[in-house]
Amino acid sequence: MPINPIDLDRLVDGEMPLSEQRALLAALGDEAAPWRQLALAFLEAQVLRQACRACLPSDEPAASPSPVAPLHGKVSRQTPRRRMARMVGLMVAVVTAFLLGAWSQRPRETSEFRSGLAAAPAASSSATPATTQVVDRLQVVFPTGPGHWSDPVELPVVTDSDQLAQFWLSEQPVWPPALQTALREAGRHVSERRHWLEVELQDGRHGYVPVSELVVSAGEPLEYP
């Protein structure tokens, strides 16, 4: 069954009714592996967004924009279009979903992470300490378009960050090749960037947040039937 690009745009923009979403995701599930993985990534992002909202205390004040915002720079009124801004916001949620999926496939590392932020496997040449101490927690938000921000995400602040940095930067990319291939086939330019972002805590200390970005920009205009 051929996939209509207009339906994909409506799905990403949140303009599709629930019944049509189910039909489209079911159709993607019957297609080749890249399309099935794309449908799974969308569902994981939706579940993660709902779970993050449920975990936030109801009596906390609304989160204010954090120092993460300058990383992306100000969004121009001309580029990208509003649709692409929403798509980038969805990409941020999807990368977190895939990180959780990767950890769930490593039972030993997952249990260690829940008990105190686990280290990398012992066989790694840049093995991290057995456990690290959580000294603070920081809530960050990400820009999803002009004047719009994502839901707050809580990140732990830990000690022994030097070895954790080596582990993060040397790990395999979190974006599956099938997803990047599907985006390129849809006429998008895709590039991946991985780095650490310095943030300032309320008590004056400085920390670093791991950032893995998949930058998606418009390519050649698509011709819709």
Question: What is the C-alpha to C-alpha distance for residues 34 and 66, in angstroms, rounded to an integer?
Answer: 35
At residue 133, the pLDDT reads: 67
Average pLDDT over residues 185-214: 74
Per-residue pLDDT band at 76 (split at 50, 70, 90): very low
At residue 70, the pLDDT reads: 44
- The domain locations on the chain are 5-218
Contact 65, 210 (CB under 8 A): no
Q: Of the spans 40-49, 160-169, 182-191, which averages the highest pLDDT?
A: 182-191
Question: What are the start-end ranges of the H helices in the chain?
Answer: 5-13, 18-29, 33-55, 69-72, 82-104, 107-116, 161-170, 177-185
Per-residue pLDDT band at 146 (split at 50, 70, 90): confident
Please state the length of the chain.
225
Q: Judge if the upstream peptide bond of residue 80 is cis by omega within 30 degrees of 0.
A: yes
Per-residue pLDDT band at 79 (split at 50, 70, 90): very low
Number of CB atoms found within 10 A of residue 158's CB? 18
